[in-house]
């Protein structure tokens, strides 16, 4: 990503930018500013440091795209897999008020993840950066040789040191903070919060108000390489290159994957922990009674059945009208539980360590155990996944039996990404032989398409269903190239029917000309040929795959509700997450 000589050049650049910022900070006019369109303040230092940082980076990385807070336009398409994000002065308010807690931030994004971060606090001449999967700090110099390693502390729920933003608080966040009862709380502006956690001096930083990607990206990489991470409400690692470069609520925490659902979660229901507990316990009891429960995951809503109950398993098939030859995924709370059920290969261990909890389903040989046999319904293989959504994890943990859960839609139809979608598909929540007794509504699913399903029985990963975890991502992390199964291999994945994910209205893909009476599922700028299309749903005006995946099923469902002649879909590039989107659309458009 960044080699040692480039790092040295970056440290030189950081020093130059730092001197420039200090020159303005200690000048007479340091408190002068104008207002940007969004009413945030802009100083001369913002503009000058931005120019210096962009030009300096261009020299070190001539082929990279560089985005600075001050040069960003909302037309920016993060199509490049690799780009830089710069925040020339993070904490402009601090700067104006004469407070030294402002920083300069450089981050490198690759495949939607923050891969490198460097933060400078000019007034103290301190640098924090990530390099070779570790994090480092340099005090009073910009010399690589003066670096010392930093690490996060261990999370302990009874002794939480909390750090919060200085200028952004809200009643929801305050309430949540009261619930988790931190031992101490400090407020500080700018990205220094991430550095402080990375150094082990604080444990968590919860944030409810939106931030921009350049506010978090550099700190994110530094925190991650020091042992922590940043999670969204869906329990996913915060990702970058979103359509408007805007982050949703998050929690930065000192321990990677130490996500504790009951306490580490921001959400409306958590105003009232008792209400939440009641709801979840009721759902657990329903599952124990072999009834079905709909629950959110980071991908789509699932229709859950207690995995050791043959009655519950049968009702899933009946409720969905799902062919019996299509196996269900077992959802478990961690890799250890998964290992009780199936024979883990080296490959499975590597993939699980990298991508669990998260949107990945691993197919393995079952262990000869009664529970594995029931879960796999007599098959020799089982698909297993550890979801990241805190509510899903909490439900599984409290039940303490794997939950078998397909997407909560009728078989062959469009998956649900909200509780409203589930209610639409199941107008009757019960029948003679089955009952959906609870729908746990926790908002929209962040990813929007189902997990990637990978056969891990051999040495090479075989992708049975594409998803958010793309081949590129696996190749980058594991240095192995996955095999991509041709779409219709019914032998390996019996459930991968060629027609699937389909609305009632006929779907036509790769459309270039408008057909009268049809609706348009657009992607990018709508060309003139479609100017007559009245019913439109744009998956992403800026061709952003993350946005398109999130909105895909919402868009298909919306157009399907209008009783149109066809749903015409504009071409979508078949790279990265685009291949998963195209896979679903191809299946939606198939006739049989
Ligand atoms: O994101 C997801 O995976 C969602 C959420 C709820 O977790 N679940 C989901 O389940 O999409 P479902 O049942 O709609 O799709 C499961 C897919 C099917 O294509 C099925 O054939 C495949 O996974 N699958 C499950 N077990 C398998 C196995 N043992 N061998 C091969 N394919 C399997
Ligand atoms: Mg499904």
Distances (CA, A) of 32 to 89, 103, 202, 290, 517: 14, 18, 33, 66, 57
- How does pLDDT run along the chain (592 residues), one tens digit per residue? 899 999 999 999 999 999 999 999 998 887 788 888 778 888 899 999 999 999 999 999 999 999 999 888 877 777 668 999 999 999 888 899 999 999 999 999 999 999 999 999 999 999 999 999 999 999 999 999 999 999 999 988 889 999 998 776 678 788 888 888 899 999 998 999 999 999 999 999 999 889 999 999 999 999 999 999 999 989 999 999 999 999 999 999 998 765 555 555 655 555 677 888 899 999 999 999 999 999 999 999 999 999 999 999 999 999 999 999 999 999 999 999 999 999 999 999 999 999 999 999 999 999 999 999 999 999 999 999 999 999 999 999 999 999 999 999 999 999 999 999 999 999 899 999 999 999 999 999 999 999 999 999 999 999 999 999 999 999 999 999 999 875 545 445 555 556 778 899 999 999 999 999 999 999 999 999 999 999 999 999 999 999 999 999 999 999 999 999 999 999 999 999 999 999 999 999 986 5
**What is the model's pLDDT at position 286?**
98
| Separation CA 465–CA 415 (nearest Å) | 14
**What is the model's pLDDT at position 228?**
96
**What is the model's pLDDT at position 488?**
46
Give the up-direction half-sphere exposure of residue 9: CA atoms within 13 A in the CB hemisphere: 13
Q: Using most ligand atoms within 8 A of CB, pick from 453, 487, 588 the residue to mutate for ligand 1.
A: 453
Q: How far is the CA of 580 from the centre of ligand 2 (A)?
A: 14
Q: How far is the CA of 406 from the centre of ligand 1 (A)?
A: 6
**What is the model's pLDDT at position 590?**
86
Atom of ligand 1 nearest to the CA of 494: 21
| Separation CA 509–CA 241 (nearest Å) | 26
| Separation CA 567–CA 506 (nearest Å) | 6
**What is the model's pLDDT at position 213?**
97
Q: Whose CA is nearest to atom 30 of ligand 1?
A: 493
Q: Which ligand is nearest to the CA of 383?
A: 1
**What is the model's pLDDT at position 43?**
87
For residue 590, the surrounding DSSP H or E stretch is: none
Ligand 2 is an ion; residues with CB less than 5 A from it: 407
Q: Using most ligand atoms within 8 A of CB, pick from 406, 412, 587 the residue to mutate for ligand 1.
A: 406
Q: Using most ligand atoms within 8 A of CB, pick from 316, 495, 499, 580 the residue to mutate for ligand 1.
A: 495
Q: Which ligand is nearest to the CA of 489?
A: 1
The answer to pTM > 0.75 is yes
Distances (CA, A) of 470 to 230, 377, 579: 21, 29, 8
Q: How far is the CA of 411 from the centre of ligand 2 (A)?
A: 7
Alpha-carbon Rg for the chain in angstroms:
25
Distances (CA, A) of 528 to 366, 533, 543: 54, 10, 17
For residues 246 and 239, the answer to whether their CB atoms sit within 8 Å is no
Atom of ligand 1 nearest to the CA of 467: 1
| Separation CA 105–CA 119 (nearest Å) | 5
For residues 25 and 115, the answer to whether their CB atoms sit within 8 Å is no
Instruction: Give the residues surrounding ligand 1 with Cβ less than 6 Å away.
Output: 297, 299-300, 302, 326-329, 359, 361, 363, 379, 381-383, 385, 387, 405-407, 450-451, 453, 464-465, 493-496
Q: Whose CA is nearest to atom 12 of ligand 1?
A: 406
Q: Which ligand is nearest to the CA of 445?
A: 1
Q: How far is the CA of 1 from the centre of ligand 2 (A)?
A: 37
Question: Which tokens go with 399?
Answer: 């039940």
**What is the model's pLDDT at position 263?**
56
Question: Please, which residues have CB within 8 angstroms of residue 486's CB and are 6 or more apart in sequence?
Answer: none
Burial environment of residue 378 by CB neighbours within 10 A (0 to 12, 13 to 18, 19 or more): exposed
- List 84's β-bridge partners, or say none: 66, 108
Q: Which long-range contacts (CB under 8 A, 24 or more apart) does 57-61 make?
A: 57/13, 57/84, 57/86, 57/106, 59/9, 60/6, 60/9, 60/10, 60/13, 61/6
Atom of ligand 1 nearest to the CA of 379: 29
Q: Which residue, 331, 316, 309, 279, is CA-closest to 409?
A: 316
Q: How far is the CA of 170 from the centre of ligand 1 (A)?
A: 40
Atom of ligand 1 nearest to the CA of 492: 31
Distances (CA, A) of 318 to 293, 315, 395: 14, 5, 23
Q: How far is the CA of 465 from the centre of ligand 1 (A)?
A: 8
Q: How far is the CA of 100 from the centre of ligand 1 (A)?
A: 52
Q: Which ligand is nearest to the CA of 360?
A: 1
| Separation CA 397–CA 526 (nearest Å) | 46
Q: Using most ligand atoms within 8 A of CB, pick from 361, 387, 439, 502 the residue to mutate for ligand 1.
A: 361
Q: Which ligand is nearest to the CA of 448?
A: 1
Q: Using most ligand atoms within 8 A of CB, pick from 322, 383, 402 the residue to mutate for ligand 1.
A: 383
Question: Which tokens go with 155?
Answer: 């999370």
Q: How far is the CA of 407 from the centre of ligand 2 (A)?
A: 4
Atom of ligand 1 nearest to the CA of 387: 7
User: What φ, ψ does residue 436 adopt, rounded to 5°?
Assistant: -95, 105
Atom of ligand 1 nearest to the CA of 381: 29
Q: Which ligand is nearest to the CA of 378?
A: 1
Q: Whose CA is nearest to atom 3 of ligand 1?
A: 451
Q: Using most ligand atoms within 8 A of CB, pick from 357, 450, 457 the residue to mutate for ligand 1.
A: 450
Q: How far is the CA of 327 from the centre of ligand 1 (A)?
A: 7
Q: Which ligand is nearest to the CA of 501?
A: 2
| Separation CA 379–CA 366 (nearest Å) | 8
Q: In what order do the strands lie in the sheet with 65-68?
A: 65-68, 82-90, 103-110, 113-121, 126-131, 134-139, 148-150
Distances (CA, A) of 334 to 145, 338, 341, 358: 40, 7, 12, 11
Question: Which tokens go with 156?
Answer: 């302990």
- List 519's β-bridge partners, or say none: 567
For residues 392 and 302, the answer to whether their CB atoms sit within 8 Å is yes
């Amino acid at each position: 990503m960044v080699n040692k000589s480039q790092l040295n050049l970056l440290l030189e650049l950081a020093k130059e930018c730092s001197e420039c910022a200090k020159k303005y900070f200690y000048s007479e006019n340091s408190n002068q500013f104008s207002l940007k369109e969004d009413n945030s303040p802009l100083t001369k230092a913002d503009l000058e440091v931005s120019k210096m940082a962009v030009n300096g980076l261009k020299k070190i990385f001539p082929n990279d795209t560089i985005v600075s807070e001050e040069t960003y336009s909302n037309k920016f398409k993060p199509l490049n897999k690799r780009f830089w994000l710069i925040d020339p002065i993070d904490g402009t308010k601090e700067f104006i008020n004469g407070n030294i807690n402002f920083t300069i931030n450089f981050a490198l994004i690759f495949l939607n993840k923050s891969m490198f971060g460097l933060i400078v606090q000019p007034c103290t001449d301190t640098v924090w950066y990530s390099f070779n999967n570790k994090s480092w700090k340099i005090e009073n110099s910009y010399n690589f040789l003066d670096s010392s390693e930093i690490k996060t502390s261990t999370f302990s729920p009874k002794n939480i040191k909390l750090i919060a933003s200085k200028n952004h608080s809200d009643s929801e966040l305050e309430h949540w903070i009261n619930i988790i009862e931190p031992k101490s709380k400090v407020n500080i502006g700018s990205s220094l919060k991430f550095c402080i956690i990375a150094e082990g001096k604080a444990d968590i930083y919860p944030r409810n108000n939106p931030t921009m990607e350049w506010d978090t990206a550099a700190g994110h990489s530094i925190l991650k390489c020091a042992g922590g991470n940043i999670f969204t409400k869906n329990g996913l690692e915060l990702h970058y290159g979103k359509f408007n470069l805007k982050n949703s609520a998050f929690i930065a925490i000192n321990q990677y994957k130490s996500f504790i659902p009951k306490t580490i979660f921001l959400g409306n229901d958590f105003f009232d922990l008792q209400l939440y507990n009641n709801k979840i316990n009721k759902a657990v009891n329903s599952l124990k009674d072999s009834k079905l429960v709909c629950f959110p995951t980071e991908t789509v809503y699932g229709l859950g059945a207690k995995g050791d109950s043959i009655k519950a398993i049968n009702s899933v098939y009946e409720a969905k009208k799902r062919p019996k030859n299509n196996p269900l995924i077992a959802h478990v709370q961690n890799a250890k539980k998964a290992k009780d059920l199936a024979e883990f290969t080296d490959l499975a261990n590597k993939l699980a360590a990298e991508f669990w909890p998260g949107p990945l389903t691993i197919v393995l040989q079952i262990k000869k155990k009664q529970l594995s046999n029931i879960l796999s319904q007599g098959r020799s293989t089982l698909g297993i996944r550890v979801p990241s959504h805190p509510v899903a994890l909490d439900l599984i943990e409290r039940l303490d039996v794997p939950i078998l859960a397909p997407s909560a839609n009728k078989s062959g139809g469009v998956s649900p990404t909200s509780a409203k979608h589930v209610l639409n598909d199941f107008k009757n929540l019960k029948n003679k032989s089955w009952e959906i007794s609870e729908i746990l509504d926790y908002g929209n699913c962040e990813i929007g398409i189902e997990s990637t399903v990978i056969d891990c029985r051999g040495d090479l990963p075989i992708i049975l269903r594409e998803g958010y975890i793309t081949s590129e991502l696996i190749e980058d992390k594991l240095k192995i190239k996955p095999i991509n199964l041709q779409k219709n291999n019914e032998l390996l994945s019996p459930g991968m029917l060629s027609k699937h994910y389909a609305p009632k209205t006929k779907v036509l893909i790769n459309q270039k000309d408008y057909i009268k009476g049809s609706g348009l599922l657009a992607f990018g700028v709508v060309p003139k040929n479609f100017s007559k299309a009245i019913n439109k749903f744009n998956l992403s005006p800026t061709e952003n795959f993350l946005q398109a995946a999130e909105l895909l099923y919402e868009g298909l469902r919306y157009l399907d509700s209008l009783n149109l002649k066809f749903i015409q879909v504009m071409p979508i590039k078949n790279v990265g997450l685009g291949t998963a989107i195209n896979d679903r659309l191809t299946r939606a458009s198939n006739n049989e």
